[in-house]
């Protein structure tokens, strides 16, 4: 990235009301068939326009074509039965009815590659594409086939790698893996989680990122955060291993969070997407608040490696609030950029 402090979002942006019910996570589609396909593309273009208008430097599809950051990907694979459901505990936090892995998982066709080509056709800006991470994928399923979290994660890593290579060929500049599970299953992260992630990026020449966060601003997550005490040190567990990994960029949440900023020191040498926008509140940050967070991060990450971003996706927010937050991110980054020249 040639420009200093290039801005981006962690992932999702709100969908238009005609596509899905607003301000709701995992809201069902309002259309079907060809009308839905066309509407998703229209929404993707609006989302792109919102990012360009706000001056975001690394743009994305705003995840307009997916209902859920994990299950939409899994729905496209063989081996998972969505009719056969079991209740499991997601990230040790809340119970959910999830689909069952009934046979070998495989990807018969690309999942997001056409969407990525569509986005590529409509912008010259660098684009970032988010995929679920292997550990977060296994955590949303009941496994009646492999009976091993590690084995299933490894199979998903191979599938993600196939998808990632095709996304790269479609012109994606940064491929990001969403691994909120890295903030929960520390032993597994170090035993095989980072290795599975590295399997997913094997052979890629484009930049790669891992997004680790404390989740959307939904109740299960905000309740969990209340139990974490005054300092959130979860990143401490995965960062040493990630620092030694082949991943180029680590995306973490910093705005209004209790994450001690000096934990970033543990990934010295990596590029860092610093979350400077809180996604769990409707209050729109001022440019100065964003700038203050970025300045704090600059103590622990070199300026040419700092990528201002959002804490997490903004899908559950209103479009008006999300637009305001995108603008605040740009304006805050501009202030600090001025100070650095």
Question: Is residue 185 a contact partner of residue 193, using CB atoms and an 8 Å limit?
Answer: yes
- CB nearer to Zn ion: pick between 238 and 312: 312
- CB nearer to Zn ion: pick between 175 and 213: 213
Question: Is residue 314 a contact partner of residue 9, using CB atoms and an 8 Å limit?
Answer: yes
- CB nearer to Zn ion: pick between 129 and 142: 129
- CB nearer to Zn ion: pick between 51 and 100: 51
Q: What is the 3-state secondary structure (H, E, C) of 15-77?
A: CCCCCECCCCCCCCECCCHHHHHHHHHHHHHHHHHHHHHCCCCCECCCCCCCCCCCHHHHHCC
> Nearest distance from residue 136's CB to Zn ion, in Å?
10
In 3D space, the residue among 36, 56, 145 whose CA is nearest the CA of residue 100 turns out to be 145
Q: Is 261 exposed, middle or buried (0-12, 13-18, 19+ CB in 10 A)?
A: middle
> Nearest distance from residue 236's CB to Zn ion, in Å?
18
> Nearest distance from residue 213's CB to Zn ion, in Å?
3
- CB nearer to Zn ion: pick between 70 and 312: 312
> Nearest distance from residue 310's CB to Zn ion, in Å?
9
> Nearest distance from residue 211's CB to Zn ion, in Å?
6
> Nearest distance from residue 252's CB to Zn ion, in Å?
9
Interface residues with Zn ion (CB under 5 A) are 213, 312
Q: How far is CA 1 from CA 176, 239, 271, 304, in A?
A: 16, 23, 11, 9
- CB nearer to Zn ion: pick between 273 and 297: 273
The values of phi and psi at residue 311, to 5°, are -60, -40
> Nearest distance from residue 203's CB to Zn ion, in Å?
26
Q: For the sheet containing 94-106, what is the strand order? A: 78-90, 94-106, 142-143
- CB nearer to Zn ion: pick between 100 and 234: 234
> Nearest distance from residue 288's CB to Zn ion, in Å?
24
Angle (CA) 116-121-122 rounded to 5° is 100
> Nearest distance from residue 139's CB to Zn ion, in Å?
14
- CB nearer to Zn ion: pick between 39 and 274: 274
Q: For the sheet containing 174-178, what is the strand order? A: 128-132, 174-178, 207-211, 249-253, 271-275, 306-309
Tokens of 310: 């959002």
Name the residue with tokens 């040639």.
2
In 3-state terms, the chain is what percent helix, strand and coil (to 5)? 40, 20, 40
Question: Is residue 316 a contact partner of residue 218, using CB atoms and an 8 Å limit?
Answer: yes
- CB nearer to Zn ion: pick between 146 and 307: 307
Q: How far is the C-alpha of 180 from the C-alpha of 118, rounded, in Å? A: 28
Q: How far is the C-alpha of 49 from the C-alpha of 56, rounded, in Å? A: 10
């Amino acid at each position: 990235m040639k420009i200093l402090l290039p801005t981006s979002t962690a992932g999702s942006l709100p969908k238009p009301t005609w596509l899905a019910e607003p301000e709701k996570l995992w809201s069902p589609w309002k259309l079907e068939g060809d009308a839905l396909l066309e509407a998703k593309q229209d929404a993707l273009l609006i989302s792109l326009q919102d990012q360009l208008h706000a001056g975001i430097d690394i743009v994305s599809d705003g995840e307009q074509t997916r209902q859920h950051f994990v299950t939409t990907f899994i729905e496209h694979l063989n081996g998972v039965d969505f009719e056969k459901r079991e209740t499991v505990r997601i990230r040790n936090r809340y119970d959910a009815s999830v689909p069952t892995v009934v046979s070998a998982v495989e990807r018969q066709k690309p999942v997001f590659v056409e969407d990525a080509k569509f986005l590529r056709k409509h912008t010259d800006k660098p684009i970032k594409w988010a995929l679920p991470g292997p550990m977060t994928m296994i955590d949303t399923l009941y496994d009646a086939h492999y009976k091993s979290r590690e084995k299933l994660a490894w199979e998903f890593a191979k599938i993600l790698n196939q998808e990632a290579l095709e996304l790269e060929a479609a012109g994606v500049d940064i491929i990001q893996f969403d691994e909120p599970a890295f903030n929960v299953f520390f032993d597994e992260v170090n035993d095989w989680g980072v290795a599975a992630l590295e399997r997913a990026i094997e052979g890629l020449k484009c930049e790669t990122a891992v997004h680790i966060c404390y989740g959307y601003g939904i109740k299960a997550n905000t309740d969990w955060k209340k139990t974490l005490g005054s300092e959130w040190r979860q990143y401490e567990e995965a960062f040493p291993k990630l620092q030694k990994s082949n991943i180029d960029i680590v995306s973490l949440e910093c705005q209004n969070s209790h994450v001690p900023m000096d934990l970033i020191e543990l990934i010295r040498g990596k590029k860092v997407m610093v979350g400077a926008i809180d996604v769990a509140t409707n209050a729109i940050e001022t440019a100065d608040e964003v700038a203050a967070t970025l300045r704090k991060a600059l103590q622990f990450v070199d300026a040419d490696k700092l990528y201002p971003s959002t804490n997490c996706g903004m899908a559950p927010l209103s479009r008006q609030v999300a637009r305001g937050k995108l603008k605040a991110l740009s304006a805050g980054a501009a202030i600090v950029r001025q100070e650095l020249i």
